Structure 1
C-alpha cells in the first residue's frame, strides 16, 4: 500500500465507537423483546411479570428505533469507506465496524 496514511484506519473505528453509545438503546430494546418473547417461550429466560401489554406494543416501538439506527449506521459506514479508502482496507471493514459499535454496550454490561 503505497502512500497509505495510518490515520485512515482509525477514523472508522473512532466513528463506530461513538455510534456505539446511542446504539445501547436499540440493542437493549432488541434484548428486552427477545427475553420477554421467544426466549421466554423456549424457557431460556424468565418473562417479566409486569409485562402484560403484549408484544405488539413493543414491536411498534422497537422496529422504528432499530431500523432508524441501522439506516444511519449503514449510511455513515458506506460514506466513510468510500471517502477514506480507494482500495479495500487491510482488515475486514464491516466486522471491525460492528465490533467497534457493540463495544460500548458490552463495556456497559461489564461495568454494571
Structure 2
C-alpha cells in the first residue's frame, strides 16, 4: 500500500517540485551565476515565495501525515530511515519520469 500511495502522491508532487525549481533557478542560483534568469520574470521573487511556500507546505503536510500513518501501520518496530528514503524516492519518481520525457 505505501508504494502505491507514494507513487500516486508523486503525480501532484510535480507541481511543488516545479515551483521550487523555478524559484531556485530564477533566484538564488541565478544570483550565484549557476543559472540564467528568465528574461520575462520581472515581478520579483517575493511573489513566487507567496505562491511556493503554501503549495509546498500543503503538499508536505499531506505527504507527511499519510506516510506517518502508513509507516506506523505497515512496518512497526523497524528503523524509520529506510521507509522514509524509499517513500521520498517513490514520490519523486513521477517528477523524474516527467523530466526525462520532457
TM-score (norm 1): 0.86
> Where does residue 2 of structure 2 map in the other structure?
12
- Cα offset, 1:41, TM superposition: 0.8
Pairs aligned (count) = 102
- Structure number with bigger Rg: 1
- Cα offset, 1:89, TM superposition: 6.6
Q: Which runs of 5+ in 1 are unaligned?
A: 1-10
Spell out, residue by residue over 1:19-62, the C-alpha distance to the aligned partner (whole angstroms, 9 max, x if none). Answer: 00000000000000000000001111110000000000000000
**Quick one: which of 84, 87, 92 aligns to 2:74?**
84
Q: Which runs of 5+ in 2 are unaligned?
A: none
Structure 2 counterparts to residues 36-55 of structure 1, below 5 A: 36-55=26-45
TM-score (norm 2): 0.95
Q: 2:19 matched to 1:29?
A: yes
4+ aligned runs moved over 3 Å, structure 1: none
Q: Distance in 2 between matches of 1:17 and 1:69?
A: 14
Change (3 A) 1:81 1:43: same
- Cα offset, 1:85, TM superposition: 2.3
* RMSD after superposition: 1.5
